[in-house]
Structure 1
Amino acid sequence: MGGSEKHAGLNNTKLTERLETAFPLLFASIGCIYLSVKIFNPHLKNKTKACIVIPTVDDLILFASHRAQIAQYRELEITVAGLAEASLFTSQKFYLNQNSHINKNLYTTVISFGDTKWNTQQKSKTSLRKYKINDERATHNYSIITKILKPRYKIVKETRNQKGKIKNPEYSYISIPISKELFCDNLTNGKPFYTDFYKLAVPNRDKSGKLKYRIKFEQKELNEMIEKINFDYEAEKIFIKACHTAWKHRLGKLGSDSKKPGASSFDKLVARDFERLRVALSKSKNFESFRETITDFWSRAGRIQELTDGWEKVMILLEPENWKRGRDLALLALVSYKPKNEKEETALKKLEFDDTKGEEDE
């Protein structure tokens, strides 16, 4: 597997293999699944461009049927957001039986390939991970996530110089929502899918050095996902709904404030409040700072029906051992809020960040 390429540039060498391993290698191209990988992590994206998944085969006839189907997939359908999704993708295709129950004790081995400093001519093996997927809830939640957070083609239009000549031709590439990588990593590690969401709520610098708040472009998808996904506890969904209501009430108050004489525009008021809350939540380092931030947020919103009806259930997320869950859920709620009108939608889409505030990728 790649041996002929490895030796093609060298004289007087040949590819050798023991008989007991050479024979299985003849079938390796059929027994393995090849997937393209697009990840957000800047430290790993060059090291992980593609992967080979080696599933456990317990039924050759069924495997052959599923393998034939995958062979017909288009590029978009075999592009995944990291090695964890590669494992979940394979488990969903091969390990779920007709009754949507997962076959236990089955593993997937995922080998990543990418660029290395010592070999720029071809993709080299960069890591190997072994996953055991035996949680039906994780697999079912992945099926919801992957239907909503889908890869898409993006087109970059051509640019021309002052003389009208083409400077950079038009091209296309595949883009995957940045939240998908985190969600899949959490599912394969047995964690709530939203764990460490605060890391995505921090703006990142683009190639020009400007801060970009990329997660805001996933508002619609995240809102839909929250409605459909299976939470571990009812309190988690109530908590998100309460934060949605609080933010809706707060936006209504800002709308009224913007109409007062000498007041700033609605867009500026929204940006200021959003940024203040986002920074306070993402910078929360302990239970006390989180509790202070979330209670202040709720108190500014007035009466929140979800808290009135479900306070006893929500209280679990305000306990010292669960504050990180509350922080991540609050940020997920802030990002996934569905605007109630065009005015709110416009204001939230305009969110920008000032370099002087020191908000950098953590």
Structure 2
Amino acid sequence: MKLEFDLGNPSFTWLHCAGLAGLWMTLKQLEIEKVARPEGLNWQLSHRKIILNWQESDKTVLEWLLKESFQINDGLIALRGLDSQTMRKDAQVIVHQGILGTFLQHTSTHKSSGTKTESLSLGEEEKEIQVTYKALQSYAYQDFASNLCDKNGQLLTKPISVAGWLNPGAVVRHVAFSSDTSFEERPENAFVLLFASVACYYYILRSKLRDKRAQYALVVPEITNLEKYAQYRQHHNLIYATYKDFHASGLGDAGLRFLTLEETVKITHTFAVQRCQVLTLGTVAWATQQKTRTDMYVVEASDEVCHNYKVCDNWLKDKDIEGKEGRFVATNFAKELISENLARNQPWYSGISEKVNSNELFKKLFYEREGLYQVIQKVKSDQREKLFVQACHEAIKFTYGQISEQANKRGEVPNFDRETVRIRTGLGRCKNSDTFREFITDFWSRAGKIPTLQEHWEELMDFVMADKNWKKSRDLALLALASYKGKGISNEDNVIDLGI
């Protein structure tokens, strides 16, 4: 029997190509470990192709390959292609949890021996976290050869129905028409899909926007070179990552975190990985018994996107927090908002005023004001946007100064929170360009003379007055409010006429 697989196969999806990369990594690791193979079995590996040859029965060879490829170590899924024996326990647990949360989520795909609890590192000089996972005795990958072969042990020649766990998120559209809407694959292509779990990457999601609708992220890389991708997937930053590194706030955070583990140039040129497809899986009201694909997007690693994400990641850190049931990783809300935009090639602040639509969410955003302020200063964006935020910061400073001055005269404690709520609700009532102009005119004029506005009057007026920019300006104004970290000083000229 001879099987030849090529990345250029027109029937291959991204997941098939990931499976081919996983198979490449597995066969390479078998070579490195010099594992004894069935007589007559050999293979050739190139940067775009895999050729398998064997003489024994198809089922015998496939059973051997799957047995050696998909193993169990102390209850954890152990993937030969990732050289699981040398991985940190953190990475092993995440791969295990990731596969069980995506590919093998249904209980029919695995047999459990109970649960185990491990203490895992959150990083250098940080406290450990207790993680409980389902320990396995077996799982579907290990004995899948019988699904690929006939009674005589020969590889089937007709397409077979693809089990849902081979293609996460792909489901029958309607049970009444299962025969017409189910997925079928050629047996050799189904064999390739088995190895996608080796090449893909996994994140545990802690989304404040989607809650249970996004619990796991499955990252499917765009594979253009099998050998180079194998080097990337086995990079020390991935193999030796800590448990905290496997948490993401959402789809965008997961995709960009995966693509920015090294400098962009190294990823795109050295490792030939420029894009990835990210699927989020979570619980929905109509199917609480299993995790359903709730979102999918292709994330691309352009220079500007990667730069802005790294700025975001540097200043908006996830935190490990002590809760009622032990320590857990709390992802950063501001980073979730920003990374979702970056992943979709939208302005990094886009839609913030629509998403942060309650006082509770605003407080979460305001909690990150120190980091937000630094992000605003360091991201690559239109200079007018930064000037607009700076002008709003100055307006807030002078407005708070007025409040402080008036409160001091009355012998009271200044109530800045009341003014913050007034500004936020005022922005929330801006539903078109006219109402926003009315708001910003009143806001700036009450503050008095604003140095940045006076110095950059023409460019800021061009930006704010353009009808197409009113939503951008509203988002930036809310961002300015959330990132303001001063108190307030008095302004000699309390009220001015902007003449807008």
Instruction: Kindly indicate whether the alpha-carbon contact (under 8 Å) linking 2:385 and 2:476 is maintained by their aligned counterparts in 1.
Output: yes
State the structure with bigger RCO (CA 8 A, min sep 6), 1 or 2.
1
Q: Percent identity, please.
A: 30
Paired residue for 1:81?
Answer: 249
In the alignment, structure 1 residue 312 sits paired with structure 2 residue 458:
yes
Which deviates more from structure 2 when the two are superposed, residues 93-102 or residues 281-290?
93-102
In 2, Cα distance between equivalents of 1:327 and 1:37: 29
In the alignment, structure 1 residue 235 sits paired with structure 2 residue 384:
yes
The within-5 A match list for 1:12-161 is 15=144, 16-17=147-148, 19-41=187-209, 44-68=210-234, 69=236, 70-93=238-261, 96-98=264-266, 106-116=274-284, 123-127=290-294, 129-133=296-300, 135-156=302-323
In the alignment, structure 1 residue 338 sits paired with structure 2 residue 440:
no
**Deviation (angstroms), 1:20:** 0.9
Q: Unpaired segments of 5 or more residues in structure 2?
A: 1-102, 112-139, 149-185, 490-500
One-letter amino acid of the structure 2 residue matched with residue 314 of structure 1: L
**Deviation (angstroms), 1:334:** 0.9
Instruction: Kindly indicate whether the alpha-carbon contact (under 8 Å) linking 2:268 and 2:274 is maintained by their aligned counterparts in 1.
Output: no
Match among 330, 336, 347 for residue 192 of structure 1? 347
Paired residue for 2:401?
Answer: 252
In 2, Cα distance between equivalents of 1:326 and 1:212: 17
**Deviation (angstroms), 1:152:** 1.1
Deviations 1:193-243 (A, max 9, x none): 1111113543356xxxxx983222111111111111111x11100000011
In 2, Cα distance between equivalents of 1:19 and 1:53: 24
Q: Which has the larger radius of gyration?
A: 2
Tell me the secondary structure at the aligned position of residue 249 of structure 1: helix
Instruction: Kindly indicate whether the alpha-carbon contact (under 8 Å) linking 2:224 and 2:273 is maintained by their aligned counterparts in 1.
Output: no
Instruction: Kindly indicate whether the alpha-carbon contact (under 8 Å) linking 1:66 and 1:94 is maintained by their aligned counterparts in 2.
Output: no
Deviations 1:153-185 (A, max 9, x none): 1112xxxxxxxxxxxx55222211222222122
In the alignment, structure 1 residue 176 sits paired with structure 2 residue 278:
no
Instruction: Kindly indicate whether the alpha-carbon contact (under 8 Å) linking 2:338 and 2:348 is maintained by their aligned counterparts in 1.
Output: yes
Aligned length: 315
In 2, Cα distance between equivalents of 1:106 and 1:325: 29
**Deviation (angstroms), 1:2:** 2.1
Match among 417, 428, 445 for residue 271 of structure 1? 417
In the alignment, structure 1 residue 296 sits paired with structure 2 residue 442:
yes
In the alignment, structure 1 residue 6 sits paired with structure 2 residue 108:
yes
One-letter amino acid of the structure 2 residue matched with residue 110 of structure 1: V
Deviations 1:102-129 (A, max 9, x none): 99994422232323557656x5342452
Query: Using a 3 Å threshold, how does the CA distance of structure 1 residues 40 and 47 change in structure 2: closer, same or farther?
Result: same
Instruction: Kindly indicate whether the alpha-carbon contact (under 8 Å) linking 2:221 and 2:276 is maintained by their aligned counterparts in 1.
Output: yes
Instruction: Kindly indicate whether the alpha-carbon contact (under 8 Å) linking 2:299 and 2:344 is maintained by their aligned counterparts in 1.
Output: no
One-letter amino acid of the structure 1 residue matched with residue 311 of structure 2: I
In 1, Cα distance between equivalents of 2:216 and 2:194: 21
One-letter amino acid of the structure 2 residue matched with residue 63 of structure 1: Y
**Deviation (angstroms), 1:141:** 0.8
TM-score, scaled relative to structure 1: 0.77
One-letter amino acid of the structure 2 residue matched with residue 20 of structure 1: E
Q: Unpaired segments of 5 or more residues in structure 1?
A: 157-168, 206-210, 344-362
In 1, Cα distance between equivalents of 2:363 and 2:226: 47
